[in-house]
Structure 1
């Protein structure tokens, strides 16, 4: 006969999931979020990154065109880091149920399902850990599923998986300790790492902390921890070996991901990140109540540890409860203190974040603290909170209220005008919760607390969503379908390889202005190849090369096509330009500078070194290496007159420069501020304001001032941070006729390849006629160790040129070129994973034999 705990053990977790869904539905209804309203979650990185990645992921699966190298990631790069970080969750498969135009609704539903799953697994853990069939597990499971971390970061959709798997990982660890069977711990830890390696890494750190806590719990009274370690040496070895094999078995994904991430700017660690200084003060106490954060404070805030007033009060009850062992209290206090200090001390906090200071969304490990709070609170609930002394029943709520008042007084963020109202609401929940907890009977207490907790979670969810610039789903649906049809003219998922400069911004109408959508990931959203890209996995060598050619890069995670000109377009293989005309229709124009994805070049090109952030200098060097001539391709404009006016009221750009310039070549005139001192949104040419797409103020970008004939006098005005126009300012015009001569020569040996996915390989192949008997083929594909190149059937070694592109040795006449991409580290990672899985199988088999 089944024990009571085993009878219908799934009922309470399922009820927890349903209750979490209901609460989240009320929050979404109150805020008008799809599928309950016309607002969608195209905010922050959800709108700028995740939606595009999920759309590309959906397309790849449905079109059977899944590739591990993507030409939609700027110039191209390994897709494995992006897949590993954003797309490995099994819940993501739900997007296949939605058309691309309705994907924001699909993402909202995935968020709802994931939050419900957190409630399910937490409830399952609580009833297993405490061996109880009590219905109260539902309430505490829901409290964790909608805790402060979730309420603030729900739209960072890939992080939610870590909270789903965490209770199951700890269940597996405890199962291993009690039964000696490692399979549950091995596989749930494996799932946690594979679905999101970043928070999976944090889960591994928490497992270490929790296992040390369990060792203290297991030691005999009066014995030292070292004696307990000696007593449990076999168990410690088994836990460590299981965890190690689980981690090693994920290397099929982690090694390629690590090799890709080492190419990003994240590999440069600042030593100041390790200083052991405190990171927050008493303002963190505001996080004990609801509404301490909202969208406006998402990038900077104290740890989001809110887990409902009930949980906080019960944790306080735990430490004064007469029926809880003193040693147990100290062990729990040690675990909570360890987690708290790991957030408070910068050195430890940086270790949680893979030794990188997070660029916004700090304290991403805060949910572990909330998880322990929920555990401890439920234990206090089981022990009967009313068993504490009467004085504590008054002092504990009073202490919590005082802490909230102090915390809100110290709080200094964008929600300050609402602070008094939120504080009063938090204090009201303290009073109501304490009265129900300490002054009502058992049967009435559970029902009332369920209602209060649900109301508090709804209130916190709605308050946290304040100031969120939600998108419009109706507008998105219409704009997406229209723009997708417009982009089909250049949509080439598998065929001739070329790039597009996309200026089509129709989809922007679906976004709230405050979200500032900049079309960085439109190539993934609409399935074409552009230069723009925005991701934490961006190859930094590619980004720096593009920046040195004049393209605008706001920071280490993104690059735009602003700053593209005929020279860089030719070097990057840009074939088409797509623009919106005055009637709102997209027009596609073939660029005259297109010479395929490469061309035969002389030896001099392989010796060109780019100067950082100096577009005109670099393009001049490249053109001279392609076809040397005594007269520069870029002729500096002659400054006829220069006036400077200082604006004392301006905070940064105080100097307004007015220059009269004489153009010395017929062609486009360019402005290149290599010191990033200019405010481009103030730039006027002959009184006409120049439009910018990305507003690159204080950045480095090659600005086209317009097409002028030789001898034309131009008036330029711009504000800068400096009073002088010194050597960092380059204003020059490109000799249009001379450039066309270079282009026509290169076009005769144009490399126009096709590409396709073959299994997990990407193959680029084509022919090139080396009519000028040059030694190298320049290929506009970033240099990467994953490319295996053959020319005329023979393997060759490529050379990195022009700051990051490839040059292949070729012969006279026709050459057949083939580039095959194998993910670096893929084979070795797979081999280690297989060996680790075999090792774990042997360990499990040996354990069964011993038992």
Structure 2
């Protein structure tokens, strides 16, 4: 009997364990309940996909599943990454969260359910780790810990950045790293700090960089709090530096190849000049402490997300008047708080936290450390034995009243706030003030009231804030994904060679990642700078972090190995306008391709002019320095350099319009470069251009960056002209093909009072000459015998001297080439692709990719890990 009682006691959970479970389950259950209420998959017809999560990250998650389960060779390099690109940078920024392994159990369109699960788990883990920190470093216990942990888990930063799901790992890792530093400073034990900081650097180096900066501030705070003399301070500083560097060395296997990747992409956009100025009027930040202070407009530009709840905010203010804490510690905490506040509004400090780059959307991404800091200070002070002085109460009340009055007076400036939110926030402030200043706090009802008030406010903030955001429906995502997957599978079942596929529709620029094919578009923060430059040159939409192959021509389709094309069908009758495949390009030149198959939604075409991945070409391509801003001429020069035929430079011929009519617009004698002005600003204005091709050649038009859907509406033959909306360089638009003798009409309807027809030119492609060039380049193909995502091997025969193997593999220092078993140098063509010189005759050529600096990083991490393990073993044996 005694044995059974002892066993029951061992099985019973301790108060500490119950607190930790409660700290995890409270935010987990609250957010799960909200998502179920919003009918998020798998509990309804909606999904968590919104903005970048729906347009970017979900595609990377699909790629991760495919790489780990079906195609390990694509872990390091993938041809779904635009035209091809290294992937370690993508893994390091987007995919190394340990929770992402859960996604392996959610194939296809069910991936949204996996995103649901990892999101609510990250909320729960943030509460769990913060509770662990409070139990280890403060007097807080029970419901008080759960309240502060929930305030941290559901802070404004987490709610606003929930869609940036890879950043949420920072929320649950920060308390663990901070505790490791706390332990290092108090006991000299280093393992916890080194291990957790290394894990943070590996899981997401970007957010870990911000954690590292915050650890410097935390070290200063803890060192001052523990100060006994300069000798001890120097010793602690040395320990902090050595352990921090050790954590960096442990994570070198990720950091070094990622650094190389960044040097080709984001690092090239680093700001080198700045001004010491406020980015906005600093008191505006006060509005973000009210619940529900977030909406869609705050995503691209806004002030920092600082909401932490009234109890935590009041507690943080009381900290600075808490006489139980050393004055030097409070002064140091005050200076750190001022520095953090200035970082939220002073340009150079903002840049410091963002590694020298202004964020594109989601400003002040580091505000999670500010919220952590304030909540942790509050937890130090709001203990059961805390009793603020009358002066402290008066000062805190004055600060709160002043801030609330400012927000109320200038409420119209804060589009994300309404009066009822301000009044509700003031109610919670009053309750929090009353609760924290009560002279008696030991009654059993006090912790329950503390918990109810604190958790209710942060829950209300999460619900109100997320209600301001719209989401992609499960059907919109799932139906599109399933249809595109069917189309891709249909091609891949019959052709196992290497080729790329294009399409005239798009859900995201990462569709190739989503459904596993070699494509031409990508949206990534680690996109090499050379890629958008090339797309802009060839007449396709590009940006600093994205490219879209929506404006391919017969020439680029051929040179880029676009062997297959999917075209969405234009449905009629009751289904008119209901296609699940949203059109993004008008590709009349598909008339030159062969239709292979079709289903209800799309037709699959094969491109007979698609060149292989590699082929023998003229060495003139190595010396081509093309600076033209005309994409048609750029393409012609590119093809001419490959064939070695000067006549191919005249592949495109500028044509005149047969007729131009103006409606409420001043007459123009020259169309290209003209500035159209409405005669009557109150009436519609348009220009109609008519052509009647004399041949069956492909017809294209160039649109300058001002000729875009924001400034005008384009109607081709009575139907809207499909075109991807965002482009900053001149694009090429396919207008007609095989249309000899047919009347083609393009109407441009002005949306504003005027329109500059920048680079607005009509071109005819000499199709016969183009076919001749393709036939020549096809005579000496690189015949692949083996290939996967990072390795190609095959033979090529050159019939002339001074020929090169030209490929459409994007150039990278990671590609290694051998010709007949001998290593050879690789060359970059048109600033983008890989080529190598060949001897005359038949050669066996191999190209293989390995991430630059990966081996060095692996060696450094391995040696560091072995040294730590060996050192620990030796120390234990000795002691």
TM (normalized to structure 1)?
0.89
Q: In the TM superposition, what is the alpha-carbon distance from 1:723 to its structure 2 partner?
A: 7.0
Matched residue count: 821
Q: Does 1:557 align with 2:545?
A: yes
Q: Does 1:748 align with 2:779?
A: yes
Shift of the 557–596 alpha-carbon distance from structure 1 to 2, 3 Å rule, reads same
Gaps of 5+ in 1: 221-227, 506-517
Structure 1 residues 275-674: aligned runs within 5 Å: 275-382=276-383, 384-385=385-386, 387-390=387-390, 392-393=392-393, 396-397=396-397, 399-407=399-407, 409-410=409-410, 415-416=415-416, 419-439=418-438, 441-442=441-442, 443-491=444-492, 495-505=496-506, 518-553=507-542, 555-582=543-570, 584-611=600-627, 613-625=629-641, 626=643, 628=645, 630=647, 632-638=650-656, 643-644=667-668, 645-647=676-678, 659=689, 666-673=696-703
Which residue of structure 1 lines up, in the alignment, with residue 35 of structure 2? 28
Aligned partners of 1:748 and 1:769 also within 8 Å: no
Structure 1 residues 199-348: aligned runs within 5 Å: 199-220=207-228, 228-273=229-274, 275-348=276-349
Gaps of 5+ in 2: 1-5, 572-599, 661-666, 669-675
Q: In the TM superposition, what is the alpha-carbon distance from 1:771 to its structure 2 partner?
A: 4.6
Q: In the TM superposition, what is the alpha-carbon distance from 1:65 to its structure 2 partner?
A: 2.4
Q: Does 1:800 align with 2:807?
A: no
Shift of the 155–606 alpha-carbon distance from structure 1 to 2, 3 Å rule, reads same
Q: In the TM superposition, what is the alpha-carbon distance from 1:532 to its structure 2 partner?
A: 0.8
Q: In the TM superposition, what is the alpha-carbon distance from 1:696 to its structure 2 partner?
A: 3.9
Q: In the TM superposition, what is the alpha-carbon distance from 1:588 to its structure 2 partner?
A: 1.3
Which of 855, 859, 876 aligns to 1:831? It is 859
Structure 1 residues 29-178: aligned runs within 5 Å: 29-63=36-70, 65-66=72-73, 67-130=75-138, 133-178=141-186
Structure 1 residues 806-825: aligned runs within 5 Å: 806-825=834-853
Q: In the TM superposition, what is the alpha-carbon distance from 1:600 to its structure 2 partner?
A: 1.4
Which residue of structure 2 lines up, in the alignment, with residue 509 of structure 1? none
Distance 1:397 1:274 in 2: 36
Aligned partners of 2:560 and 2:611 also within 8 Å: no
Distance 1:179 1:323 in 2: 22
Distance 2:369 2:722 in 1: 44
Q: In the TM superposition, what is the alpha-carbon distance from 1:449 to its structure 2 partner?
A: 2.0
Aligned partners of 2:714 and 2:749 also within 8 Å: no
Q: In the TM superposition, what is the alpha-carbon distance from 1:20 to its structure 2 partner?
A: 1.4
Aligned partners of 1:194 and 1:253 also within 8 Å: yes
Deviations 1:624-649 (A, max 9, x none): 33152548221111356664441278
Give the 3-state SS of the residue equivalent to 1:589 in structure 2.
strand
Give the 3-state SS of the residue equivalent to 1:471 in structure 2.
coil
Deviations 1:31-60 (A, max 9, x none): 333344332111011001111101111122
Higher mean C-alpha deviation, range 363-372 or range 791-800: 791-800
Q: In the TM superposition, what is the alpha-carbon distance from 1:671 to its structure 2 partner?
A: 1.7
Deviations 1:129-162 (A, max 9, x none): 1265454212111110110100111121111111
Q: Does 1:737 align with 2:768?
A: yes
Shift of the 803–688 alpha-carbon distance from structure 1 to 2, 3 Å rule, reads farther
Shift of the 56–412 alpha-carbon distance from structure 1 to 2, 3 Å rule, reads farther
Shift of the 596–169 alpha-carbon distance from structure 1 to 2, 3 Å rule, reads same
Which of 15, 23, 34 aligns to 1:16? It is 23
Aligned partners of 1:101 and 1:477 also within 8 Å: yes
Deviations 1:770-800 (A, max 9, x none): 3566611210101111111112222221211
Distance 1:401 1:649 in 2: 53
Distance 1:831 1:789 in 2: 24
Shift of the 303–252 alpha-carbon distance from structure 1 to 2, 3 Å rule, reads same
Aligned partners of 2:185 and 2:222 also within 8 Å: no
Q: In the TM superposition, what is the alpha-carbon distance from 1:834 to its structure 2 partner?
A: 2.6
Shift of the 62–639 alpha-carbon distance from structure 1 to 2, 3 Å rule, reads closer
TM (normalized to structure 2)?
0.87
Q: In the TM superposition, what is the alpha-carbon distance from 1:452 to its structure 2 partner?
A: 1.6
Aligned partners of 1:31 and 1:462 also within 8 Å: no
Shift of the 309–259 alpha-carbon distance from structure 1 to 2, 3 Å rule, reads same
Distance 1:657 1:266 in 2: 44
Distance 1:738 1:571 in 2: 15
Aligned partners of 1:533 and 1:558 also within 8 Å: yes
Q: Does 1:775 align with 2:809?
A: no
Aligned partners of 1:493 and 1:528 also within 8 Å: no
Q: In the TM superposition, what is the alpha-carbon distance from 1:687 to its structure 2 partner?
A: 4.9
